[in-house]
Amino acid sequence: MLQSKLFTKTRREGPKDELAKNASLLVRAGFVHKEMAGVYSFLPLGLKVLKKVESIIREEMEKLGGQEVSLASLQDKNIWEKSGRWNDEVVDNWFKSSLKNKNEIGFASTHEEPLTALLKDHINSHRDLPVYIFQIQTKFRNETRAKSGLMRGREFLMKDLYSFSKNEEEHQKFYESVKKSYLRIFKKIGLTDYFLTFASGGIFSRYSHEFQAVSEAGEDIIYIDQKQKIAVNKEVFSPDVLKNLGLSEGQMEEKKSIEIGNIFSLGTRFSDAFGLTFVDKDGQKKPVIMGSYGIGLGRIIGTVAEMLSDERGLVWPKEIAPFKIHLIRLGEDSKTKKEANAFYKKFLEEGVEVLYDDRDVSAGEKFSDSDLIGIPYRVIVSKKIIADGGRLEVRERKTGKTKKINFKQTLQLIK
């Protein structure tokens, strides 16, 4: 893409009311626009990152046998009353409104209820199970405070997966496969520094599992056993739990952390409320065993922006960067322009995603914009380069290491 055509501009300062580093950097670099606390619009660069995260997650969900849906946001009060979660004293982050006929409606913050209700049309027999259903869809949560940028949104894109199994054994097997799937997702996204964390499991299971990335910007507190690479969320941290997990308090280190994913066993909490049953091989009617598994996409992007950035700006991992190469032309003479345009075309022909800074602005402005935007490789075309036999100056954003290599070598490097 030509940077001269990209409608967003970088800016020196984040929004005045923005306390979070992640959001401030993303706004300054033109990835998102802050509409209000906890509400961000995605601009072209940000949307590119979001779609890459989405496609990494979708691929893994499909590998798990997940079938994709897109459930409505608008929620029928009657359905949520069945599970007891309509009441604001039970769920305190509803956005509610009403239809013209005064019927109350809500905006979904999660989808266990409507999905369980709709599956009653489709599940009858053990032959219909197990089934795994996911979506990548917008959630609304009326958070009291939203001061952590993209890490606590009042509106955010979430991948939510729900499993429906015949029995506990089938459920546990899937639950473990989701754990492995999440490890692959985070690795591919470039988030490698996190801990599998034991947290409250609610009524039907002793624990749920969270994936927690250690960061001062986090809103959670966890206790880490560095040797075993596991952690315990403060909410369940007790002598009893430590004993149960074979951990010792003396080994545990307290840290702030960001929850980047979670997986829950739901047992029959929702299938009981909605009467979601199936007839098993033995002719008996049994309730379906459920699980739910979330990853917030905006939060993932916020976490990457928070944890992997440096004092000059964002640093995107290859797999989710908006472009692989930031091609920068230095010099406004016709020869340099011609040469830089030719390289741009060559990269495109090779299928490389490239942002081409073809603007007539100073080298300093180009460099500081490039650092702020954080594309993995910066490639410079200038008079000097041309005189040097066409070898390109390629700089890795993350390490700052610069190499002089030819076009083919550049393609190899960025793979």
State which residue, 281 or 408, has the beta carbon closest to its own copies: 281
User: 2 in helix, strand or coil?
Assistant: strand
Kindly indicate which of the ranges 61-69, 171-179, 210-218, 344-352 contains the residues binding its own copies, using the contact rule CB under 8 A.
61-69
- Give the C-alpha separation, 189 to 182, whole Å: 10
- Is 341 one of the binding residues for its own copies (CB under 8 A)? no
Instruction: Map residues 7-26 to x or -, x wherever contact with its own copies holds by CB under 8 A.
Output: xxx-x---------------
Kindly indicate which of the ranges 39-47, 186-194, 241-249, 281-289 contains the residues binding its own copies, using the contact rule CB under 8 A.
39-47
Cα-trace Rg, the chain: 25
State which residue, 37 or 231, has the beta carbon closest to its own copies: 37
Instruction: Map residues 80-99 to x or -, x wherever contact with its own copies holds by CB under 8 A.
Output: ---------------xxx-x
Candidates 160, 159, 172; CA nearest to 201 is 172
For the CB of residue 204, give the shortest distance to its own copies in the complex, in Å.
23
Residue 284 backbone dihedrals phi, psi, to 5 degrees: -85, 145
DSSP lists the bridge partners of residue 140 as 155
Kindly indicate which of the ranges 71-79, 208-216, 376-384, 405-413 contains the residues binding its own copies, using the contact rule CB under 8 A.
71-79
Residue matched to tokens 């997986």? 263
State which residue, 142 or 172, has the beta carbon closest to its own copies: 142
- Give the C-alpha separation, 60 to 55, whole Å: 9
Kindly indicate which of the ranges 41-49, 312-320, 347-355, 405-413 contains the residues binding its own copies, using the contact rule CB under 8 A.
41-49
Beta strands in 238-322 (DSSP E): 253-267, 277-279, 285-287, 289-296
State which residue, 154 or 397, has the beta carbon closest to its own copies: 154
Q: Which run of H or E residues covers position 119?
A: helix 112-119
What is residue 136's DSSP assignment? E
* C-beta separation of 10 from 46 below 8 A: no
* C-beta separation of 276 from 288 below 8 A: yes
**Contacts to its own copies by CB under 8 A:** 4-9, 11, 30, 33, 35-36, 39-44, 47, 50, 65, 67-76, 95-97, 99-100, 105, 107, 114, 118-119, 121-123, 127-128, 131, 133, 138, 140, 142-144, 154-155
